[in-house]
Structure 1
Amino acid sequence: MPDWINILIRSLVSFAAMFLFAKVIGKRQLSQISFFEYIVGIAIGDMAAIIADNIDGPIYHGLLTMFVYTVLPLFLSWLALKSKGARDFFEGKARVLIQDGKILEDNLKKERMSTDELLEHLRTRNAFKVADVEFALMEPSGSVNVLLKSENQPMTAKKMGWQVAPEVAPQTVIMDGNIIDESLATLGFNRAWLKGELQKQGVAIENVYLGQVDANGALYLDLFDDLVKVPEPQNLKLTYITLKKSQADLELYALSVEDEQVKKAYEREAKQLQKTIEQLKPLLTR
């Protein structure tokens, strides 16, 4: 057999074996890999190259070595799951770099991290001043997680005591000018409803690059022509305005009538509607 054919066959076999062993090791080879797994991945890749190039030795010798390097990390991962001591030994422990706003220089030295590197890690977490950081921790994977001080953390609806609607993934109902009926059915809508919404915005279906419907039934459109801007749906805001107008009308009726019973009834309904508006406001004005 010519050498070039032998090399071609061995290359295909080693590539297939490397792909198979990488699948067996799992997705951790692609994300959140440990230093040990990183070394194993390099070793398996080198072995695959050696198998393809070393035409004098039996191919199964290299495949056996790749198999051993695949099974070993799987066994160590299983051992780490069963024992915290083994997990700390093989994967390492997290180390505190900043505590109570104070940099722990000794821990930086243990991680062989310079001040510039620490500042770089903080900037990737949108912390440009050390004084803004309450706590920073270096994970075994090498990433640094940061907890900002309370006064520097982003404001959230929970902190403000607001009630907000849960976020639901929008459904794509139009893609490349084509209607996706399955997504419409998931939302409980049909093509007639979609065409009616498009007519309200004065858009033809063939001009729509992407159309999505959120949990509130609002349709958002992106057109092929980037120069044309489609107005955002105002259904929720219009509902809020209508409720406010109705509440104001009830108060006006209460002032205009002379019958005390009718006046009290209008006032009572106005107060009840006001309470309802206050409860719905975070949902209608977001």
Structure 2
Amino acid sequence: MMSEYPEVIVRTILSFSILFIGARILGKQTISQMTLFDFIAASSLGAITANLSFNTKLPIHYTVIAYIIFVAIIYLVAYLSMKNRSARGFFAGKPTIIIQNGKILEHNMKTMRYTIDYLNQQLRVNDVFDISQVQTAIIETNGSMSVEVKPEFAPVTRQDLGIFAGHKKNFAVELIMDGQLVAKNLEENHVSEKWLRKELDRRNLKTEDVVYAVRGSNGRLFVDTYDDHITSPLDKE
């Protein structure tokens, strides 16, 4: 029994490693917003790696070969889906309309085994608490619901009011992390180091005093220092 412990440890490390590598190869789609095929793929990969980690009766190379074949199949399906619309529809499925022109399509709901209670629940998730306000509701291929409300219930936009939206906001840019300048971000986002130094001088700070500094989407600099000047932290035990 004791002799199996090292093998289980090695198997577990190996299973985690190949699962991580497979996820990196297949991309983020497999782990979020999953379609039916993605769910099957992820479940299968998990089952294979789980067996690899603790089922010592299975030879390691058999499990690794099975895992590689699964990853190859998933990659091939993803490639075909990207290149061919019919293949994409077959493997990922197609969106299903369950409310059209304010009318509930009972047949589509029955096909999907969708109940009225669950319909109302999903509408509430989309911040719609009155089904009479819904113009269109669609179940996407990943199971989420997209909702379009009737025009009279739609939120008012700046365009509706004729208000100029202003300049486009930029992404927040990390400039200092752990007391070190993030030179790459400064260069790629055309942020002047001179401007940053000036902002730090205005706060009587040096780069090494700063844990984290970021230029926000509004163009202002947010700075957090190592010394927080808090004598009684709320989370202190």
Report the TM-score, using the length of structure 2 for normalisation. 0.75
Structure 2 equivalent of residue 5 of structure 1: 6
Q: Match of 1:73, as an amino acid?
A: I
Q: What do the CA deviations read for 1:21-69 (whole angstroms, capped 9, x no partner)? A: 2222221121122222212222222222222333344211111111111
Q: Runs of at least 4 residues of structure 1 off by over 4 A?
A: 170-176, 178-188, 193-196, 204-226
- For 2:155 and 2:186, the matched residues in 1 are separated by 36
- For 2:172 and 2:15, the matched residues in 1 are separated by 44
Q: What do the CA deviations read for 1:62-92 (whole angstroms, capped 9, x no partner)? A: 1111111111111122222232222211111
3-state SS, counterpart of residue 41 of structure 1: helix
Structure 2 equivalent of residue 191 of structure 1: 197
Matched, 1:88 2:89: yes
Q: Which runs of 5+ in 2 are unaligned?
A: 231-237
Report matched runs for 1:59-138 at 5 Å.
59-138=60-139
Give the total of aligned pairs: 219
More helix by share: 1
- For 1:222 and 1:57, the matched residues in 2 are separated by 52
Change (3 A) 1:205 1:64: same
Report matched runs for 1:213-228 at 5 Å.
224=228
User: By how many angstroms is 1:195 displaced?
Assistant: 4.6
Q: What do the CA deviations read for 1:208-238 (whole angstroms, capped 9, x no partner)? A: 9977655765567889579xxxxxxxxxxxx
- For 1:14 and 1:180, the matched residues in 2 are separated by 37
- Whether the aligned pair in 2 keeps the contact of 1:172 and 1:180 (CA below 8 Å) is no
Larger RCO of the pair (alpha carbons < 8 Å, separation 6+): 2
Structure 1 equivalent of residue 170 of structure 2: 168
Change (3 A) 1:205 1:152: farther
Structure 1 equivalent of residue 147 of structure 2: 146
- For 1:55 and 1:215, the matched residues in 2 are separated by 53
103-112 or 18-27, larger mean C-alpha shift: 18-27
- Whether the aligned pair in 1 keeps the contact of 2:81 and 2:87 (CA below 8 Å) is yes
- Whether the aligned pair in 2 keeps the contact of 1:21 and 1:70 (CA below 8 Å) is yes
Change (3 A) 1:129 1:225: farther
Q: Match of 2:27, as an amino acid?
A: G
- Whether the aligned pair in 1 keeps the contact of 2:31 and 2:42 (CA below 8 Å) is no
Structure 2 equivalent of residue 38 of structure 1: 39
User: By how many angstroms is 1:116 displaced?
Assistant: 1.0
- For 1:32 and 1:83, the matched residues in 2 are separated by 21
- For 1:135 and 1:175, the matched residues in 2 are separated by 46
Larger radius of gyration: 1
3-state SS, counterpart of residue 29 of structure 2: helix
Change (3 A) 1:217 1:134: same
Change (3 A) 1:33 1:195: same
User: By how many angstroms is 1:109 displaced?
Assistant: 1.1
- For 2:113 and 2:102, the matched residues in 1 are separated by 20
- Whether the aligned pair in 1 keeps the contact of 2:174 and 2:182 (CA below 8 Å) is no
3-state SS, counterpart of residue 134 of structure 1: strand
- Whether the aligned pair in 2 keeps the contact of 1:172 and 1:212 (CA below 8 Å) is yes
3-state SS, counterpart of residue 65 of structure 2: helix
User: By how many angstroms is 1:95 displaced?
Assistant: 0.9
- For 2:38 and 2:182, the matched residues in 1 are separated by 45
Structure 2 equivalent of residue 236 of structure 1: none
Q: What do the CA deviations read for 1:131-183 (whole angstroms, capped 9, x no partner)? A: 2211111111100001122222222212212212222235567889x796968
74-83 or 205-214, larger mean C-alpha shift: 205-214
Change (3 A) 1:106 1:173: same
Q: CA RMSD in A?
A: 3.3
